[in-house]
Structures are given as C-alpha cells and as structure tokens.
C-alpha cells in the first residue's frame, strides 16, 4: 500500500517499520538495564549479609577483649590482651579486604558483560 507524500509515493509498511525497530532497541535496552539492576541488588544483599556477619564477629571480639582487659591482674596481662586483640583485628581486616576484592571481581565483569564494554567501543 502506498500513500502520496510531499516527495512522492511512500510505502506505508516502510513508514511504520522504523518505530518498531526503535521499540525493539528500547526493549533490549530495558532488559539489559533490568539485568544490571538485578545484579546490583544481588551484590548489595550479599554485602549486607557480610556486614551483619562482620558486626557480630566484631561485637564478640570486642566483648572478649574487654573481659580479658578487665580481668588482667598485671601490665603484662593487659599488654598480652591488647596484642591478641590487635592480631585478631588485623586477621579480620585481611579477611574483609579479601571478601571485598572478591565481590568487586564478581561485580565488574557483570557490568562489562551487560554492554558497557560494547557501548564504550
């Protein structure tokens, strides 16, 4: 079917084909963004669980340290409690850093695989 346009006959099918192409691009973009948002939410939920676990461990460690410090009968006992606390805090810090880097390693490829790499190149 053709209609008369200002520059001559125009096929109606061709005139309506462009919006459908844009709709398909929009649909794909929406799906990509929804997948990215889902990945971000999953990462945030995991981070939230890790933070809660960390808070529990930190509270327990601090409680144990305060108990040992309160029951210390001499300066060497107090020093030993402080050194043990500092060593355990460093171990926790190492573990937290390792977990953070692992989470970042998992999150960054998700963003790159979802089209940021293709959009940037």
**Secondary structure of 32-94 in HEC code, one letter for each residue:** HHHHHHHHHHHHHHHHHHHHHHHHHHHHHHHHHHHHHHHHCCCHHHHHHHHHHHHHHHHHHHH
Q: Do the domain assignments include residue 2?
A: no
Q: Do the domain assignments include residue 22?
A: yes
Tokens for 30, please give them: 């929406």
Tally of domains in the chain: 1
Q: Do the domain assignments include residue 1?
A: no
- Per-residue pLDDT of the chain (121 residues), as tens digits, is 445 545 555 554 555 556 677 778 888 888 888 888 887 888 788 888 888 988 999 999 999 999 999 999 999 999 999 999 999 999 999 988 898 888 777 766 665 665 554 444 4
Q: Phi/psi of residue 6, each to 5°?
A: -70, -25
Q: Which of 118, 112, 110 is nearest to 43 (CA)?
A: 110
> How many Cβ atoms sit within 10 Å of the Cβ of residue 81?
19
Structural domain boundaries enclosing 37: 11-116
């Amino acid at each position: 079917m053709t209609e008369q346009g200002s520059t001559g006959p125009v096929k109606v099918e061709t005139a309506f084909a462009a919006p459908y192409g844009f709709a398909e691009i929009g649909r794909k973009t929406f799906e990509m963004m929804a997948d990215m948002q889902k990945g971000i939410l999953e990462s945030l939920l995991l981070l939230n669980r890790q933070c809660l676990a960390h808070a529990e461990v930190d509270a327990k460690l601090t409680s144990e340290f305060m108990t040992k410090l309160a029951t210390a009968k001499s300066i060497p006992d107090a020093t030993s409690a402080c050194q043990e606390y500092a060593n355990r805090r460093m171990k926790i810090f190492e573990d937290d850093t390792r977990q953070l880097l692992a989470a970042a390693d998992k999150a960054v490829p998700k963003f790159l695989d979802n089209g940021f790499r293709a959009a940037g190149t």
